[in-house]
Structure 1
Amino acid sequence: MVHTPVLARAAAALSGAALLMMLGACSSSQTTSTAATTANTTADAGSVTMFAPADGITMSQRTPLNKWAKLIPQITGDLKKQGVEKQNISTVISADLDKQSQQLQDWVVKHVTNLKKGSQTAQHSTLIVAPASQTNASSRQYGDYVTQPVVKGAQDSEQREAESRMRSALQLARKAGMHVVLVSNTVSGFTPDAFVQCSTPEQIGELQANMLVSKLDLGKVSKDNPKSIEVLLPYAYADDSDSATSDDAEINDDFAKEAFKGVWKILKPYYEQGKVYSPSGSLSKDSTDDDWQSVAFDLNEKDGAANTIAERIPTIKKDGASARTRIDGIIAMNDAVASSVVDKLDDMGYTGSSADINPSITIPGIVGNIAGHKDLLRKSVPDPAKSPTNDPQSQREESHSGASSSAQSSHDSRWPVITGYGSYADTIPQVVNGKQWMTGLENRDELSTDIARTCVRLNRNKGFSGLSYITEQSIDGVKTPTIHEELIAVSAGNLKATLIDPGYISMAEAGL
């Protein structure tokens, strides 16, 4: 006979064991549920395959910061941050469009063969394709991401065949349920799920012209004391061959033409108002976009940039002495040209730096700002409304003092504001020392993040609502979601924040 207390204790033990089993089961269920949720989230992030061109090589072997070899690894890292697993990210690098289209075609056919149309796997897969474009020695100097001008009928038969092959492969991928994001350049006859708009030649020209307008404060300039500005527009023939540079060859560089269009859009009003003039006479108030050849020079010619600037602003004889032509601003278009101009102006006897030009800052202030302990903001000193040669009062005073010739000579030899683009690591020190006022580059950090987020949104079948970096533009007559980030303008005042802090270059590369 079992006593009641013993039965009670046994019952309690059984009850407790049952409770533990229930809690264990519940915990196991929650763990399984959490693991399943994590797995589903990772699966939702899907897979991404990138097809990109090999890095372009500039004529001078100098390297702009905007290179494919920098962007692709950055996109890979951002995709991982967005939940795409490492094994689901792959990259294919191609030397040219022909090779790229073949590799893309082989990849798509292989993967589509193993898929059923509309399968879950296909719907969670995105292709990032940056079509390899035809470039020349000039356009390569601006970096790899520049969206090249579309020139109808300019492709040779091999290029047309390659683009047709790429178009067919992309259409097959879309038909199987995959998503496609095109970067930098479009493919005729194909509309992607999203397009990444990189810098255009026109935008590069606009950026430099706007920076020059701001630095020289052209809005406050008087036509009685105008600024002198020259535009150096490098061009190169598409095939870079010696035969193309014969005297009777027609200059045809659509990149250079579009770049000038951006420059002239900004500067033309100041020429028309008489606030700006060209010492060489290459530009005037009557110039149009079609006059781009008047400021162009052949990049393939030895010392082309240096010789061109020497011709535009020659040293002249004045009162028996050598005198320099006054030059307030030079748009050099890219850092390679700017570097040649800096060296030549130094040889010609121009002195000072862009830091001396209104609004004024000092070189020690530049270095101090980059080191993080100085403020570069200083009030600008306005130019006089009239130049000494146009001011009768100044002429009378200087006539008595004998200071006119000396003052004018000092002003004429003052260092001009020089602009460029590309943010070449080896030319950044000349931005620090003030010889080159500004450079520019693509906002690679933001573009990479935007591309990664867009791919994951596509893989998860979510729309683009609420994404501030996406707008719409027409591609082949179809409104297409478009990613775009403004170009970064870099000068001494923001060099630390724009290039050093984000990790584009090191303090040592900046010459500090």
Structure 2
Amino acid sequence: MRKIVAGLVSAGLALALAACGSDAAPADSVYANQEAMVGISMPNETSERWINDGNQMADQFKAMGYQVDLKFAADDAAKQSSQLQAMIDEDAKLLVVSAFDGGALGDVLAKAAAKNIPVIAYDRLLTGTKDVSYQATFDNERVGVMQANLLVDKLKLGSGGNESAPKIELFAGSPTDSNAKSFYDGSMSVLKPYIRNGDVVVGSGETRFKPITTEKYDGKIAGERMTTILGKYYSDSDLVDGILSPYDGMTRGVIDALKADGYGTESKPLPVTSGQDAELDSVKSIIAGEQTATIFKDTRELAKVAVQQGNALLTGTTPIVNDTETYDNGVKTVPTYLLYPVAVDKSNYNTLLIKSGYLDAGELVG
């Protein structure tokens, strides 16, 4: 399995690298020679991935000769809109946007379009607007499938290996992020048959998307909901066996709540837990035997794709895409370059995260 996973990531990243080509701007770059400004808008600075993504794109655009205005929106749609308006007023020639609320930016994107400023949606679909040119993202429904399959495999669902049906709880991401529904849909495409057949039980009974969403992917909010669920539906003799969580920060909040309730001992082991983004603290948790696994989305490669798309738009060439059918934002189908995630656990984190240079082994100490 390790070889299969490593092969998948190698193949997927090699494809992206081949498509992206050189990081250098073409000699006849129209805007790079004029030091045109690129606006990059990320949703927050509370998740380390958005900081890294923003900085990676900024560094690459600067290496090509562009000026960069990088802003973080503090998970505030109004603030993000204001920041984008400022970039438009500063005569940005390109906007790269990872939205806090993908459906809340239509007005400001229309103003960008009025000034012929192309927009790239970065890892979060911009919805309800025609004023988005391209998207760079991961296959987020596949992320949900992989997270659900972790529970299926570790809990031996459908194998006849359980004396009684394991109990799980479901968590979803922020209702403002279209990816949250993609994660959920992917997960439920796997779990629904097992739930319907009684192979697994959701102890709280909460399975619909809206009740299980977690505002801003906030780990504290997820932990508070876990505490409430444990108090209402579980006891020392009736334990939760698995947690479907879409994001590492939420998973850590849930684990903290479980440990506060006495989980993490031989008689009351921590449940199987999923996650996403291979955040440093969650990788440490995986190594320590607490969080079970995470989904690794190599954002270094995603940043390269977005920069290639942006430079192509600015130099009059064709951006790379490999999906022109899937991403209907309610107004148009957004041409997209899709990258593929891989699962990381204690058995393969060294190969996928350390040897690839994504994390420094020294960061995992202490």
Post-superposition offset of 1:302: 8.1
Which residue of structure 2 lines up, in the alignment, with residue 339 of structure 1?
Answer: 252
Q: Which residue of 2 aligns with 1:348?
A: 262
Question: How far is 1:444 from its partner?
Answer: 0.3
The one-letter code sitting in structure 2 at the alignment partner of 1:207 is M
Q: 1:503 and 2:353 equivalent?
A: no
Map 1:379-394; keep pairs closer than 5 Å. Answer: none
2:37 to 20, 32, 49: 49
Shift in CA distance, 314/254, structure 1 to aligned 2, threshold 3 Å: farther
Partner of 2:335: helix, strand, or coil?
strand
2:85 is equivalent to residue 102 of structure 1: yes
Amino acid in the other structure paired with 1:215: K
**Aligned pairs (5 A) from 1:350-499:** 350-351=264-265, 413-464=268-319, 470-473=322-325, 474-475=328-329, 477-499=331-353
Instruction: Return the alpha-carbon distance in structure 2 between the equivalents of residues 488 and 435 of structure 1.
Output: 20
1:312 — aligned with what? 233
Match for 1:505: what amino acid? L
- In the superposition, the TM-score normalised over structure 1's length comes to 0.54
Number of residue-to-residue matches in the alignment: 327
Trace 1:51-90 onto structure 2 (pairs within 5 A): 51-53=39-41, 56=44, 58=46, 64-67=47-50, 69-79=51-61, 84-85=64-65, 88-90=66-68
**Change in CA separation of 1:226 and 1:50 when aligned onto 2, cut-off 3 Å:** farther
Query: Any stretches of 5+ residues in structure 1 without a counterpart?
Result: 1-38, 59-63, 112-125, 135-147, 156-161, 239-252, 316-323, 353-409
SS in 1 for 2:323: strand
Residue 127 (structure 1) aligned to one of 94, 113, 118: 94
* Letter in structure 2 aligned against 1:484: L
Are 2:113 and 2:131, in contact at CA under 8 Å, matched by a contact in 1?
no
2:180 and 2:133 map into 1 onto residues whose CA distance is: 30
Measure the CA separation in 2 of the matches of 1:300 and 1:340. 8
Specify whether residues 276 and 180 from structure 1 end up closer, same or farther in structure 2 by C-alpha distance, changes over 3 A only.
Answer: closer
Unmatched segments (≥5 aa) in structure 2: 1-23, 74-78
Q: 2:191 aligns with which of 267, 274, 277?
A: 267
Write the distance in 2 (CA, Å) between the matches of 1:340 and 1:40: 43
What is the Cα deviation at residue 45 of structure 1?
6.8
Structure 1 residue 52: Cα displacement: 2.7
After TM superposition, the structure 1 = structure 2 runs for residues 119-158 of structure 1, keeping only pairs within 5 Å, are 127-130=94-97, 132-134=99-101, 148=102, 150=103
Render the CA deviation track for 1:461-501: whole Å, top value 9, x for unaligned.
3335xx5x532144555444212212343211221233223
The letter of the residue matching 2:29 is D
Instruction: Compare CA radii of gyration and give the structure with the larger one.
Output: 1
Q: CA deviation at 1:268?
A: 0.8
* 8 A Cα contact 1:313 1:327, kept in partner: yes
1:73–1:257 CA distance, 2 compared to 1 (3 A): closer
Find the counterpart in structure 2 of residue 137 from structure 1: none
Given candidates 142, 151, 168, the residue that maps to 2:111 is 168
Name the SS of the counterpart of 1:434 in structure 2: coil
Tell me the distance in 2 between the aligned counterparts of 1:270 and 1:40: 51
Structure 2 distance, partners of 1:476, 1:296, is 21
The one-letter code matched in structure 1 to 2:148 is A
Q: 2:129–2:331: 8 Å Cα contact kept in structure 1?
A: no
Q: Does 1:329 align with 2:242?
A: yes
RMSD, matched Cα: 3.8
Task: Provide the rounded CA distance (Å) in 2 between the counterparts of 1:130 and 1:340.
Answer: 28
Write the mapping of 1:23-38 to structure 2, written as runs, cut at 5 A.
none
Tell me the TM-score normalised to structure 2 length: 0.72
State the percentage of identical aligned residues: 20
Q: Distance in 1 between matches of 2:251 and 2:87?
A: 38
AA aligned to 2:27 is T
